[in-house]
Amino acid sequence: MAGSAEDVKVRGMHAAIERDGVRDYVAVEEPLEIRVDGRPLAVTMRTPGDDERLAAGFLHGEGLIDRWPPIGPSGDLAANVVEVAGPLLRDPGARSFYTTSSCGVCGKGAIDQVAVDAPPLPLDADLPPLPRALLATLPERLVQPEFARTGGLHATGLFDRDGGPRCVREDVGRHNAFDKVVGWALERGELPLRDALLCVSGRLSFELVQKAVLAGAPVLVGVGAPTSLAVALARDRGLTLCGFARGGRVNVYSGEERVA
């Protein structure tokens, strides 16, 4: 399949690669720069699509906004740039970012920082417990057409309490897919997600639990395993965290009082 860049034809979220009469499809990956009031704040590698929601979800997940901001293309119409109008809730230069498993910060410090931005998730005694079998089937309800085509994308889904899909987004980055869903809900004025279920297609990292807590979602389900810090944060903030959801089974690591 080796060839020149001219052999790669981008078509939305995927690209067709052709060589010697053979065609394959791969996920598109391009940088997105997020600017606030004209100043670069962050760059993420993402799959194009829902860029404004991705940017808003990212800013919300970092505790920098709590409502849908004025957002759109940059004034100079630069490609792969989203412009957000401030003010932010705080100076991002003073924000401590705990976003990678190799950043060297201690778990206690990371959890304490999330506690500053998000209170513990309430347990609604008026709502019936969620059937464990329902939580186990959420990954099967993630519609992932681009993953089926390329095999190279993660997905995040937002579901109602009956397991009905409300929003599913795909991206080459698992955090980006999550941010796109949160941004979708933020634009619709539906945060916090008190009655929603979130499901991700991969492992459950600290960052995804952090984003779920800040979005006010009481339940997060993953196909893969959680990390130790993800479990610690979920227990500290009262999130129901479920992993290894596959084959009709699911492990519950925290918040079991919400599960029948």
32-36, 95-99, 126-130: which range is least confident on average? 95-99
pLDDT class for 108, splitting at 50, 70, 90?
low
183 is in an annotated binding site: no
Q: Which residue has the higher pLDDT, 72 or 10?
A: 72
In tens, the pLDDT along 185-198 reads 999 999 999 989 99
Q: What percent of the chain has pLDDT over 90?
A: 68
Residue 89: closest CA among 62, 57, 50, 58: 62
pLDDT given for residue 248 in this prediction: 93
66-70, 107-111, 189-193, 253-257: which range is least confident on average? 107-111
* 8 A C-beta contact, residue 208 and residue 171: no
Which residues, other chains included, contact 250 with Cβ-Cβ below 8 Å and sequence gap of 6+?
Answer: 132, 135, 136, 221, 242, 243, 244
* 8 A C-beta contact, residue 201 and residue 244: no
Q: Is 199 a catalytic residue?
A: no
pLDDT at 225 over 90: yes
pLDDT given for residue 233 in this prediction: 94
* 8 A C-beta contact, residue 71 and residue 60: no
Residue 245: closest CA among 119, 96, 110, 135: 135
What is the model's pTM? Answer: 0.88
pLDDT given for residue 240 in this prediction: 98
- Set 103, 106, 199, 242: catalytic member: 103
For 23, 199, 228, 246, the CA distances from 254, given in Å and listed in that order, are: 45, 15, 12, 18
244 is in an annotated binding site: yes
5 is in an annotated binding site: no
pLDDT given for residue 7 in this prediction: 59
Domains and CATH numbers, the chain: 30-110 (3.10.20.10), 116-258 (3.40.140.10)
Q: How does strand 154-159 pair with strand 249-254? A: unpaired
248 is in an annotated binding site: yes
CA distance 150 to 12: 12
Helix (H, G, I), strand (E, B) or coil at 52: helix
pLDDT given for residue 109 in this prediction: 66
Report the run of H or E that residue 80 belongs to, with start and end.
none
- Of the ranges 71-75, 141-145, 161-165, the best mean pLDDT one: 161-165
On the CB side of 60, CA atoms within 13 Å amount to 33
* 8 A C-beta contact, residue 213 and residue 113: no
Q: What percent of the chain has pLDDT over 70?
A: 88
In tens, the pLDDT along 4-32 reads 444 556 667 888 888 777 888 888 999 99
